[in-house]
Amino acid sequence: MELQVKARTVLGKKVRALRAAGIIPAEIFGRGLENRHVEVSEKDFTKLYKTAGEHTVITAVTDKGEKIPVLVSAINRDHFTGKFLSIDFHQIRMDEKIQTKIPIRFIGEAPAVKSGLVIVKVIEEVEVESLPGKIPSHLEIALDKMAEIGQSIHVNDLKVPVGVKILSPAGMVVVTVTEKTKEEVEAPKAAAEAAPGETTAPSEAPAEPKPETAGPEKK
């Protein structure tokens, strides 16, 4: 995946003008390297980010034709609009292993749900170590065989490409089947037992209103 980046001379509070023009201010940094101030198209990055996320190697192509392998290290968004305000790219070497986290995608519907049981997703990402070019964008877990209480999938059940090492504890539970809690069962039961339009009486009689006292005349 390639992303066009341009050298940026606009810094500080002046970057607001860039954002207004549909451009995101960004930084490219790396071990032993001088930081680069760059800018990217908001439209191009938004489209790429939906696929690449923070776990896929991106080739940043400069206006001079230089190709730089990077990972999205950090993003800053507007809390109200969700728009990207700034991006940090981590420049990497393709011949050096890196450690990162990969998201887990849960596929299909568990038969346990149809039986009234609950699927609990304990973790939604795992830490791995690998050469950048071998890191998958995500790992998948099929839920179609999860049917009984106590049935679980652990980290050591995950399948990763050759050359990718999972660093998260092997025995850690990823997803498990449990029964509904007592509170979850009693809440709908109580609602069903109440007659339509019927309300429960308060445990205490309402307090009598206190007599009003004369106050200052309102203006």
Tens digit of pLDDT per residue, the chain (219 long)?
A: 899 999 999 999 899 999 999 999 999 999 888 899 999 999 999 999 988 877 788 999 999 999 999 999 999 999 999 999 999 999 999 999 999 999 999 999 999 999 999 999 999 999 999 999 898 888 999 999 999 999 999 999 999 999 999 999 999 999 999 997 655 445 555 555 555 554 444 444 444 444 444 444 444
**Quick one: which H or E segment has residue 129?**
strand 125-130
Give how many domains the chain has, as a whole number.
2
**Structural domain containing residue 44:** 2-91
User: Is 207 contained in some domain?
Assistant: no
User: Is 217 contained in some domain?
Assistant: no
Q: Looking at the structure, do residues 118 and 184 belong to the same domain, yes or no?
A: yes
pTM of the model: 0.68
3-state secondary structure of 165: strand
| Residue 33: predicted pLDDT | 87
| Residue 218: predicted pLDDT | 41
Residue 166 sits in a domain whose CATH number is: 2.170.120.20
Note the helical H segments in the chain.
15-20, 42-52, 111-114, 182-193
Q: Looking at the structure, do residues 87 and 103 belong to the same domain, yes or no?
A: no
Q: Looking at the structure, do residues 48 and 120 belong to the same domain, yes or no?
A: no
Residue 17 sits in a domain whose CATH number is: 2.40.240.10
